[in-house]
A and B are shown apart, each in its own frame.
Chain A
Amino acid sequence: MKPRLSIAIALLSILASSASAQAPDGEVEMSVDRNQVEVGGIFQLRITATVQGGQAQLQPPDLAAFDVLSRSVSSGSVMRGFTRESRLTQTMQLRARQPGAFQLGPARIDFGGGTTIDSNVLQITVGGGIQAGQPAAQGGAPDLPPAHHADGMAFDPRGFLRTWVTDAEPYVGQQVDVTVYLYLRGPLRASPAITREATTDGFWTRDLLPPSRSLDARTQTLQNMTFQVYTLRHVAAFPLQAGEQTIGAPAMEVRNSGLWGLLGGGGNEPLRLEGVPVTVNVRPLPSEGRPDGDVHVGELTVTSELDRAQVGTGDAVTLTVRAEGRGAIEQIRIPSPSADGLRVLQPEIRDTVSTPGGVVRGDRVYRWLIVPERPGTYTLGPFEVPVFDPEAERYTVARAPALTLTAAGNAAAAAAEPEPAVLEAPSGPAPDAPSFGPIHRESELTRSYATMVDRGWYRGLLALGPLMLLLGLVARAWRRRAASDDPARAPRRARKAARKRLAEAQAHAAGGEPRAFYAAIGAALKDVLQARLGQPVGSLTHPELSALLTRRGMEPELARAVVEELEGCDFARFSAAGVERAEMDECLTRARALLAKLDRFTPTAEDEA
């Protein structure tokens, strides 16, 4: 017993120790949605920390070089085996404050006691800033136009509108800034009402002012009169075709009450202001050295990548081509790749455009799903976009080198659909949620949901255990009760069996078969004993039987007589050669007497004994 117990205790100890002795562990990772931004540009930093089996503090990296616009923390926990795993995601919107290359991180999880885990380190490049000759940064007011020019305005000493264009002779596709100013002699006391916008037909435009802002005045002296100058519109305009293009004259009403209105003689009448149209002479791109295709004006770099270079036939890969630079990014067209044996689906196009320093720049990303329908090696690209630099007045070609795709396996059915994992592309209205999906392609479309617990048979089987125990208890109680019955209620079957055995014994005696005779006598006695005691006695030795009978309340003399008779029967069975008939008759008589006494014997219960 002791060795078995010790093994069981050792097993339990191992189980317990495995549950409690796990040291805390974890990991922390940082990611950004982009690692190149301009001054004033906004990007998202996400820190994901996972801690197993302990408590830890998350220390974000030093963010001194950035403005933290918002911060959110999401946390949760699950049990993995015996270990609690806590996850924490911290998401921050950061704004770049100054140009330069910045190292972000590491973030750190601190378990206390000097145990820490560091994250990866990120490199953020902040470019741009205000360059010479460029307007002020996004959100800031552009420089005022020169006072000595009278372009774009119809001077009025009470006030006037002025449209200013930074370059009157741009190339097709070159950015020019168009700004509409309101000149007033006094401060603006109410919001002006624009009755006609400055039209920009023939231009692709992008607003350079933030959607919500306040009208702040600056002062400028024109013709010896000091004006309050308000910036009403400030857009980047890209001429779409060569020739004279006109920016229409804006119009507005200014209702200024108060002293200035009275002094101005206008009373409560609104001041109606009319601007003048401004003509821009758009130059065509130089024909000398002009490459074929649509030319992008500005700066551009093109990169390309495949998510997998080797793929099974019928599987889809994602080809991504990114054009990044300055200019009318959203006008860039990149032709779809094609090759015999490739099925190229319609591309997904995403544009990210910002206006740091008043310069329109950003990237345009094309994503194609490509399904090789036959095995082989395919060349995708190169991807080229001709670029004209208006400052240097020369052409270049932005080029991403060709990519090689190898498809292996049997030819796929033409209608094979691409794998869902590849079809998944970051799209949708939530730019901060790129990690959703892919969706599942297969489903059993189950219409009924039932667990094992809901099944009828389960409850029946669950009740079986307690029922089994209950039946066992009843059976044991019945046996005890049977064992404690009085002689009158002794099992009739046992008595009948005993009488039958005695009759058989008599027949064996008459037939001269002493072995069979004594065996029948012994069996008759044991049957009656078993029926009276309610338990088997066949396996007991004679001393054990004697002790049992005494324990169960039998008179010692009777017990001794019974055991001696059984001993005599056993002895005679194995040495029955010379047994006389008279001896057998005497034995039969003694057995009958003993059975009669046993019929009157009432055993006590084992517990009572």
Chain B
Amino acid sequence: MRRSLLVFALLALPLTARADSLEEIWDRANHAYFQGDHDGAADGYRELLALGVVDPDVAFNLATAEARRGRYGAAIQYFEQALWLRPGDEDARAGLEAARAAVGARRANAQGEAEVAEEPPLGEALFGGTSRDLLALLTLLSSLGLFGALTALLFVRRESVRLGLGIAAPLVGIVLLVSGAGMVIRNGWLEEGDPGVVLQERVPLREGPEAEASERHVAREGQRAWILDDGEDGWVLVRVPSVGEGWAEASRIGPVRPSGR
């Protein structure tokens, strides 16, 4: 008995130590933020991400710290990530709007005029605020409902029941269609690449993945960039809507979705 307890304790030790460590980093980063050390706070939150934490609160805090540092591109990236992880988060949505407004204000201060417009596609606008789990559950239930009703129609002879099934089946079918479309959109199964954000005010999009390649376009801070190809040697092929396509340094494009997604 004693030996089994010892084995259990030894097995549990690394897990406990790791959990404490994450909590410590989180507390340290929060403390740094409250002290006004936004650089230290951002470093702490990034450390959590590097340790594999995929959490909307960490993304939100990192975005806020980056915004406080004046790095609005990174702030937009992590506010979007927070929203992707927890759709409908009003704090993150307000932060995202404030960060976009701040990008515009800074650009206007430099140039006199600036416009930052982020109109999501209709699908994203429709389903962007709905959680993927809810859409998946609706899709599952409506699928079972629809196919169950159709199967029952094969065997049931009673007219009243057949009538009820005949009315229910198309309605459930509509729910299945809508929730299924939402699930496809929310999971990005039809997207051309992974969504990203331009992190700096002037990011050249080049002909090829090298600094000597000629410049095709220039993307601006905070713009949405679709990462089409991860490429190699620190370059990514991106398409920036209303700007164009080209190779950019990977460090200047921040992916919205956590790595591994």
Q: Smallest distance from the beta carbon of A533 to chain B beta carbons, Å? A: 15
B61–A440 CB distance below 8 A:
yes
Q: Is B129 an interface residue (CB 8 A)?
A: yes
A442 at interface by CB-CB < 8 Å:
yes
Which residues of B lie under 8 Å from residue A71 when comparing CB positions?
108, 112-114
Determine if A210 is an interface residue (Cβ-Cβ < 8 Å).
Answer: no
A464 close to chain B: CB less than 8 A: yes
Once the chains bind, are B104 and A91 in contact (CB under 8 Å)? yes
Partner of A432, one of B30, B102, B136: B102
Q: Are B101 and A89 in contact (CB under 8 A)?
A: yes
Provide the bound-state CA to CA distance between A447 and B259, in Å: 12
Chain B residues, CB < 8 A from A441: 30
Return A480 CB to nearest CB of chain B, in Å: 11
Provide the bound-state CA to CA distance between A428 and B33, in Å. Answer: 10
CB < 8 Å neighbour of A72 from B33, B64, B101, B151: B101
Per-residue CB contact flags for chain A residues 355-382 toward chain B (1 = under 8 Å, else 0) read: 0000000000000000000000000000
Note all chain A residues with C-beta closer than 8 A to B75. Answer: 436
Contact indicator per residue, chain B 57-88, by CB within 8 Å of chain A (1) or not (0): 11011001101111010010000000001000
Residues of B within 8 A of A476 (CB): 154-155
Stretch of A74-82, A231-239, A566-574 that contacts chain B: A74-82
B144 beta carbon closer than 8 Å to chain A: yes
A79-B128 CB under 8 A given contacts A435-B94, A469-B150: yes
B116 contacts which chain A residues (CB < 8 A)? 72-75
Q: Does B212 contact A (CB under 8 A)?
A: no
**Could you tell me which residues of chain A, from 45 to 93, have a CB within 8 Å of some CB in chain B?**
46, 69-80, 84, 87, 89, 91-93
B191 near A: Cβ within 8 Å? no
Choose among A46, A73, A442, A444 the residue with the greatest number of B CB atoms under 10 Å from its CB: A73
Q: Which of B48-56, B234-242, B245-253 binds A?
A: B48-56
Q: Which residues of A contact B126 (CB under 8 A)?
A: 79
B65 A439 Cβ-Cβ under 8 A: yes
A73 near B104 with CB under 8 A, answer: yes
- Contact pattern, A 511-534, Cβ under 8 Å of B = 1, otherwise 0: 000000000000000000000000
- The answer, yes or no, to whether B229 is at the interface (CB within 8 Å) is no
B243 within 8 A of A: no
| Interface stretch (choices B5-13, B117-125, B195-203) | B117-125
A466 to B125, CA, bound (A): 30
Contact of B167 among A5, A79, A348, A445 (CB under 8 A): A5
CA distance A464 to B147 in the complex (A): 9
Choice from B67, B97, B144 contacting A461 with Cβ under 8 Å: B144
For chain A, residues 436 to 476, give those with C-beta under 8 angstroms from any C-beta of chain B.
Answer: 436-449, 451-453, 458, 461-462, 464-466, 468-469, 471-473, 475-476
Q: Which 3 A-B pairs have the closest CB atoms?
A: A465-B147, A72-B104, A72-B108
A residues within 8 Å of B by Cβ? 1, 4-5, 8, 44, 46, 69-80, 84, 87, 89, 91-93, 348, 420, 423, 425, 427-430, 432-433, 435-449, 451-453, 458, 461-462, 464-466, 468-469, 471-473, 475-476
Known: A76-B100, A439-B30, A469-B151. 10 other contacts (CB 8 A): A44-B105, A70-B108, A71-B113, A71-B114, A72-B113, A433-B72, A439-B64, A448-B54, A449-B258, A472-B155
8 contacts between A and B (CB under 8 A): A74-B97, A423-B34, A429-B69, A442-B57, A446-B55, A447-B22, A464-B147, A471-B151
